[in-house]
Structures are given as C-alpha cells and as structure tokens.
Amino acid sequence: MLHVPAVPRDRIHYISLQGKIVPPRDLLCQELQGNQKSCESCLQCDYEIEYADRSSSMGVLARDEMHLIATNGDREKLSFVLGMCAYDQQGQLLASPAKTDGILGLSSAKISLPSQLASQESSLMSLVIVLPASRMVVAICF
C-alpha cells in the first residue's frame, strides 16, 4: 500500500481528480478490514494500519494508475489500490513525516503493491524501485 499524508481528520471525505475512492464492498477493502462489518451507508473504504514500531496511520483507500516504462522502452499502465489520504497518524510517523511519505506495502497480502501488480494481466515479471534519497533499491519479482 502506498501511504500519502493528505488532510486533517476533520476532512475525512477525500475527493481526488486522479484517484477513485474505493467503496467498502471492494474485495481489497474487505480483505484489509478483515472481519469488520462493512458500513451500508459508507461511500469510502477507510483503513487503519499499525506498524511494527507501534506507529499507526488511518486513511481512505483510492484506486489509481501507475505508469511504468520497461528497460526496452515498452510502457505499461497498471491500476492499483493505494492508501490515498492519511487523516490521522500516531507514533514515529509524526516525528518524521518526510521520511514516511510514500511508504510502499511490500507484504504478501492481497492489498500489497506486489500482489496487486502480479494479479494483473501484464508482461511485467519484476519491478525495481530506486529510492535515491535513502540509496535503497527494492526489487520485486512476480
């Protein structure tokens, strides 16, 4: 899941021209929320994530597109779900917000970025993400 801090908690309903808000009945929303009962009148899928250091983030899921360029120049447009708008952060996330912008969910859960990319009909077999600021390279194979 991508994590992008966005608006204060009092502006929970987030509308983006780029992304499409994920409804509560979406399969990825239901997986993320587990056994929680979905809200019949809700228009969006809220998420709450707790990290290993006990930091947490709450926000709204949105569907967006990722444009990738292969090493041979081919272009791919992939749709995926991301944590579009975090409206409440706790713990270490507050101490260093610049370092938490764009956290990628790299777990094996269906909501994670690698799982979503692997589930799409694509010629994509692997993805390398270069993070220049931290000098890290993340390789994901499908």
What pLDDT digit, counting tens, does each position of 60-77 carry? Answer: 887 777 676 666 777 777
Record the pTM. Answer: 0.57
pLDDT digits (tens, 9 = 90+) for 75-114: 777 777 665 566 677 777 666 555 454 455 666 677 777 7
- Full DSSP string of the chain: --EEE-S-GGG-----SSSEEPPTTSHHHHHHHTTPPPPTT--S-EEEEE-TTS-EEEEEEEEEEEEEE-TTS-EEEEEEEEEEEEEEEETHHHH-HHHHTTB---SSSTTSHHHHHHTSS-S--EEEEEETTTTEEEEEE-
Q: What are the structural domains of the chain?
A: 3-141 (2.40.70)
**pLDDT tens profile 7-58:** 333 433 444 445 588 888 888 888 877 777 767 778 888 888 787 788 887 8
